[in-house]
Amino acid sequence: MRVTQSMLSNNMLRNLNNSNSKLGKYQEQLSSGSKITRPSDDPVATVKGIGYRTELAKNSQYTRNMTTVNSWLDSSDDALKQVGSGLQRVQELVTQAANDTNTDEEREKIKIEIDQIRQQIRDVANTQVGDSYIFSGTKTLSPLFTSSTANSSKDDKDVPLNGNSQNVTIEVYDGVTLDVNVDGATLFRKIDNLMADVQTALNDDDALNAGTTSGTVIGNLLGDIQDGQEDALQARSVIGAKQNRADMMADRLSIQKISTTKQMSDNEDVDYEETITNLITEESIHRAALSVGGRIIQPTLVDFL
């Protein structure tokens, strides 16, 4: 095959153009820090990158969900702690009232404080996280005790409750959900009925005027109050177990984020040492091509004018 001068010139120009493209590619990689500037650079790596970004987006959402989980559990634990403290104070007051040396006036003062504790426990039962009532089961938009009930000092039992006993679940991983509440409806109904019994005992005029009988009637409630404290403590232990699992899940999400980020970096990020070396090598090749190209192009009459 006869190689003409035009063929040599065209090949030289094509090679110089390719060399310029490689130089531009390495410079763009160094400036952007990414090996992929467009999907055509590496289709396989591009598809993997999309997958990694999807995983990170899901991880970010699950991490935000974990914030909600921790808010519910922490608020529940604090609320139940207040309930336990209230019942402990009720136990002290009932122990004091069970002593028949107390006068009617002294027991009336005790009853007034117990009335306030009952209302405080009802307020705690209506604890909210954001706009959600955490002890109302899945009826998170309704308070467990209505405002009229929560502020009532009547010693009635089995007052209507708005909540239910169903679990509130939050997704924290693919196919993994956590229950973030306790059965507040059952717990607070039992405690509220207990408080009603205490109020009734202190309101019983016949018992109050019956000498030692009044102390016996009131003292008999101490066992029930102890049971109420145990119920509140049991609910706190359930919350504690859920908090431990939430902490483990948070660690899992953190580890997954680090692992996925590393994989995405290995897939896309530039190896600066290697890229700089390639750039220097390509620059040397380009200079050599320019030098050889000057020799390939034959002189013309213009060169001698």
| Domain containing residue 88: CATH number | 1.20.1330.10
> Can you give the residue range of the structural domain that contains 87?
51-262
The pLDDT value given to residue 107: 82
Looking at residue 25, its amino acid is K
Q: Is residue 130 part of a domain?
A: yes
What is the dihedral angle through the alpha carbons of 68, 73, 74, 76, rounded to the nearest 10 degrees?
A: 120
Q: Which residues pair with 173 in a beta bridge?
A: 176
Q: Is residue 71 part of a domain?
A: yes
The pLDDT value given to residue 232: 95
Q: Is residue 87 part of a domain?
A: yes
The pLDDT value given to residue 303: 57
pLDDT one-digit tens code per residue, 63-104:
999 999 999 999 999 999 999 999 999 999 998 888 877 777
Tally of CB atoms within 10 A around 83: 24
The pLDDT value given to residue 228: 93
Q: Which two tokens stand for residue 186?
A: 């059952």
Helix (H, G, I), strand (E, B) or coil at 120: helix
CB-count exposure of residue 298 (10 Å: 0-12, 13-18, 19+): exposed
Instruction: Show the low-confidence residues of the chain (pLDDT under 50).
Output: 207-208, 210-213
Query: Which one-letter DSSP state was computed for residue 301?
Result: G
Number of domains present in the structure of the chain: 1
The H or E element that residue 169 is part of is: strand 169-173
Angle, CA 52 vertex, CA 47 and CA 55 arms, to 5°: 130
Q: Is residue 191 part of a domain?
A: yes
Residue 212, phi then psi, degrees to nearest 5: -70, -20
Q: Is residue 150 part of a domain?
A: yes
Q: Is residue 19 part of a domain?
A: no
Closest CA to 267 of 48, 13, 100, 27: 48
Q: Is residue 72 part of a domain?
A: yes
The pLDDT value given to residue 208: 46
Q: Is residue 206 part of a domain?
A: yes
CB-count exposure of residue 29 (10 Å: 0-12, 13-18, 19+): buried
